[in-house]
Amino acid sequence: MLVIIIKFYMPKDFFDDSQKISRELSSSETEKKKINPKDIFNQFLLNKRIFKNKEALSSSFVPTEILHRDAEIEVISNILAPSLLLERISNLLIYGFSGTGKSLVTRYVAQNLASLALDKNVNVMPIYINCRLENNDTEYRLISNLCTVFGVKVPVSGLSVNQLYKRLVSNVDIEDKYLILILDEIEKLIQNAGDGVLYSLLRLNESMKHAKISIIGISNNTDLKASLDQRVKSSLSPVELVFKPYNAIEIENILQTRTKDSFYTDALDESVIKKCAALAAQEHGDVRKALNLLRVAGETTQQSGRVKVLEEDLDKATDILEQNITEEMIKSMTKQGKSILYSIIVTARSKRMGKVYSGEVYDAYIKISDKYGLKRLTFRRISDLIADMDYNSLIMSRVKSNGRYGRTRELNIAFSPALLMKVEEILRNDLKSG
């Protein structure tokens, strides 16, 4: 263990540095002064600090400033405002690509609403739930988690979902109250539990005398509403808000503010932020990715014992992140997922890496699934899996409502050529290995 720690913190030029220090010492009058390792370590810490606060680059960190989202903050605030008079508000569906600030902005507005409601002594409760986490994509778990918010103890299993709803209502509907349920990554809930859960939640309004409930759903699947059952759609009747991708200049401004909290002033070359912003702008304005890139670039610099993050560190970070994330993700995919991704790649290759359409991928998938003895999935299921790949940035897709296949998805491969070769190899081997 000790060896690992020493190795990790030991920069390549460690011996060079220590030799330099000892040479300086021996040539000075303090020739007889003993070398104290702590002095060397302290010097190292002084020299090599790059991060002021690395946490400030993580997704859970709440930034001091939210730039370029005033219009969205205004729309959401206007929709939520009547809840302060306990007047009914619209349900809301928020869409947008990954890393465009949907979760951040929604939580920010909700926090402001909650704190104002507290000041004014109004019973408005925004409740934030991420459907991807803590099994919140099952109806049982989601409703039991809501019950716990109101102090109702619920067994992990054993009750019927109806009993859970009853317990929830009897603990919520005791006074005038407005629950604003923020369901982040709502597509996970719908995929796993079906959309009936939204209907059941909104139907509670009919059985409650005092309390009201509205839903804010957040998703990066712009197709979400179309996929809902008619009955659910009409009870939800949502206002829809799309978060447009940030452009390179906007990302640059955002990174400037985020790096003030996270990096020491001189540790980051201005050109690095510019380049990182340009890269993220190509990735449909994904600020999360940009922040991750800066973090890994900083770590790369630190490990090499230098004090300033340069563009080359960013290039290295791009490779590291792209490769790590992709390989991990692909290895954890099901065989069906792998065969679909392989079908996308094969189709794109046959079109010299041009755009491909979901219908063409389906044709290729039929052949590939037969070749590897897989049960054929329906076109609908394949579309869901493709949406998941988009969500995980393995591909980029956009729904188009014309073309040979009617409503179809236009797909683009998101890998660099070198990574693409590696991905193809992993997929081929995994599919072959049965």
Ligand X SMILES: Nc1ncnc2c1ncn2[C@@H]1O[C@H](COP(=O)(O)OP(=O)(O)OP(=O)(O)O)[C@@H](O)[C@H]1O
Contact positions vs ligand X (CB under 6 A): 59, 63, 66-69, 96, 98-104, 220, 254, 258, 287-288, 291
Contacted by 66, from ligand X, Mg ion, none: CB < 5 to 8 Å by type = ligand X
Contacted by 287, from ligand X, Mg ion, none: CB < 5 to 8 Å by type = ligand X
Contacted by 292, from Mg ion, ligand X, none: CB < 5 to 8 Å by type = none
380 Cβ neighbours under 8 A, 6+ residues apart:
none
Q: What is the spatial distance between Cα 425 and Cα 423, in angstroms, rounded to a whole number?
A: 5
Q: What is the spatial distance between Cα 111 and Cα 66, in angstroms, rounded to a whole number?
A: 14
Nearer to ligand X, 22 or 257 (CB): 257
Among 103, 302, 347, 397, binds Mg ion (CB under 5 A): 103
Q: Of the listed pieces 31-39, 85-93, 96-104, 383-391, which binds Mg ion according to CB under 5 A?
A: 96-104
| Residue that has been written with the tokens 């220590």 in this structure | 18
CB of 403 to ligand X, least distance (A): 26
The phi, psi pair for 2, rounded to 5°, reads -60, -40
CB of 183 to ligand X, least distance (A): 12
CB of 145 to Mg ion, least distance (A): 18
Where b means 16+ CB within 10 Å and e means fewer, 220-247 reads bbbbbbebbeeebbebbebeebebebbe
The phi, psi pair for 357, rounded to 5°, reads -115, 150
Contacted by 144, from Mg ion, ligand X, none: CB < 5 to 8 Å by type = none
Instruction: Point out which residues pair with 141 in neighbouring strands.
Output: none
Contacted by 245, from ligand X, Mg ion, none: CB < 5 to 8 Å by type = none
Provide the 8-state DSSP code for 405.
T
Nearer to ligand X, 66 or 75 (CB): 66
DSSP 58-112: STTS--S---S-HHHHHHHHHHHGGGGGT-----EEEEE-TTSSHHHHHHHHHHH
CB 186 within 8 Å of CB 131: yes
Nearer to ligand X, 220 or 397 (CB): 220
CB of 103 to Mg ion, least distance (A): 3
First to last CA, the chain: 38
Show contacts with Mg ion in window 353-412 (CB under 5 A).
none
Q: Which two tokens stand for residue 157?
A: 């299993």
CB of 186 to Mg ion, least distance (A): 11
Nearer to ligand X, 69 or 177 (CB): 69
Q: Degrees (nearest 5) of the Cα angle 345, 346, 347?
A: 90
Does position 347 bind Mg ion by CB under 5 A?
no
Nearer to ligand X, 262 or 408 (CB): 262
Q: Of the listed pieces 2-10, 99-107, 149-157, 391-399, which binds Mg ion according to CB under 5 A?
A: 99-107
Site for Mg ion, rule CB under 5 A:
103
